[in-house]
Amino acid sequence: MNKRKIIEKLMLGVISTLAVISAIPIFAIMFNVYAEGLKHVNLSFLIDLPPPPVGDRVGGIGPALVGTFTLVSLAMVIGGAIGFFTGLYLSEFSHTKLSQYTQMFLQIMVEFPTIIIGLFAYTILVAPIKRFNALAGGFALSIVIIPYIALNVREAYKSIPYTLKEAAFSLGVSAPVAYLRILLSTARRGVLTALLIGMAKVAGETAPLLFTILGTTFTYFGGLDQPINAIPLLIYNFALSPYERWHQVAWGAAAVLLTIILLIFIVSRLIVKEVKL
C-alpha cells in the first residue's frame, strides 16, 4: 500500500468515527429517557394531578397533558390556518411585492429565538389583562409555527407541475375549488408533512410558554382565559426544582413527550415515503 491509500483508509475511518460519535447522543437520550421515565408511566400517571414535592403520592401529569393538547389544537387552528394560506399565496402569487417581502420576513422569523415570541405574546395578551392564560400560549405557539408551515406549504404547492395547474383551471372551476380541492389533493402529502412537522415543533416548545401560561396550576382546564400547564413546561419546572419526586415526574413526562414526538415523526416519514413510490 502506498501513502495515499493509507491516508484514504485513515481519513475514511476518522469521518466514520466522527459520524458515529455525532449519532450517539440521540440513542443515549432515547435510552435514558425511557429507562428513567417509563417506570413511572401508567394510566394513572397520564390522568392524575402532579404530586406534592414530598410524600408518597405517585401523582401524574394529567393537567399538563390536557394543556398540551389544548395549546397544540389552538396553535394548529390559528397558526396552521394562517400559515397554510400564507404558504399558498407565497407559491401561487409569487410575483407580487407582498409575496416577496413576506417570504423574506418569514425566512428570518423561522430562525427567531422563540423566547422573543414569548415576550411578544406576554406584551399583547398577558400584560393587558394581568393574568397568565391559555390563549396567550396558543397565540405564541401559533406565531412559532406560521413561518414553518407557510414555507413548507409553499414548497408543496411549488412542486405541483405547471401543466397540472393549467389543467385544473381549464376545468372552469373557481379559484378556491382549484386550489383547495384539486391542487390540494395533489400537494396533500407535502402539506400534511408541513402540518405534522409544525405540530411536533409546538408540542415540544417551552420557551414561548414560560411567560404566557404560568404552568403551575393544579386544575385541568378552566377556560382559555385561565392559566394552564403544558408537558414541556412541566418538565422544565420540575427538572429545575430541588425535589427528587418531581425529577421522577419530569422523566416520566419526558418519556410521554418523546413518544408523542416519535409518533408524529414516524407518521410524517411514512407519508413522505408514500410520495416517492
Partner 1 sequence: MSSGKIFYNTLTFLVFISLFIVIAVVISLSVTSYPIFLRDGLFFISKSVWNPVKEEYGILPALLGTLITSTLAVGLATPLAISLAVFSAEIVPPRFRALINNISDLMASLPSVIYGLWGLFILAPILNEYIMIPLHRYLGFIPLFSTKPVPTNLFTASVLLAIMIVPFASSIIREAYSAIPYYLKEAAYSIGLTRWEVIKIAIGYVKSAIFAGLFLALGRAMGETVAVAMVVGNIFNLPKSLFDMGYTIPSLIANQFPNAEAYNYMVPALYGGALMLFLIGLVINFFGLYLIKKVMIKS
Site for partner 1, residues 185 to 204, rule: CB under 8 A: 197, 200-201, 203-204
With beta carbons less than 8 A apart as the criterion, state whether 117 and 144 touch.
yes
Query: How many CB atoms sit inside 10 A of residue 69's CB?
Result: 15
Residue 232 binds to partner 1 (criterion: CB under 8 A): yes
The answer to whether 236 contacts partner 1 (rule: CB under 8 A) is yes
Site string for partner 1, 39-78 (x = CB under 8 A): ----------------------------------------
Counting Cα atoms < 13 Å in the Cβ hemisphere of 52 gives 4
The set of cell numbers assigned to 237 is 419546572
Please pick, from the candidates 1, 55, 111, 128, the single residue that binds partner 1 as defined by CB under 8 A: 111
Widest CA span of the chain, in angstroms? 76
Of 41-49, 160-168, 182-190, 247-255, which part binds partner 1 (CB under 8 A)?
A: 247-255
Q: Is residue 182 near partner 1 by the rule CB under 8 A?
A: no
Q: Which window, 39-47, 50-58, 187-195, 230-238, contacts partner 1 (CB under 8 A)?
A: 230-238
**If you search the block for the grid coordinates 389533493, which residue do you land on?**
185
Q: Does 124 bind partner 1 (CB under 8 A)?
A: yes
Does 250 contact partner 1 by CB under 8 A? Answer: yes
Residue with cell 378556491: 176
User: H helices then E strands: how many in the chain?
Assistant: 11, 0
Q: Is 210 in the site for partner 1 (CB under 8 A)?
A: yes
Least separation in angstroms between residue 219's CB and partner 1 is: 20
Of 211, 217, 227, 245, which lies in the binding site for partner 1, with binding defined by CB under 8 A?
Answer: 211
User: Beta-carbon neighbour count of residue 102 at 10 Å?
Assistant: 16
Nearest 5°: the CA angle 113, 119, 123 is 150
Report the DSSP beta bridge partners of residue 228: 214
- Decide: is 259 part of the binding site for partner 1 (CB under 8 A): no
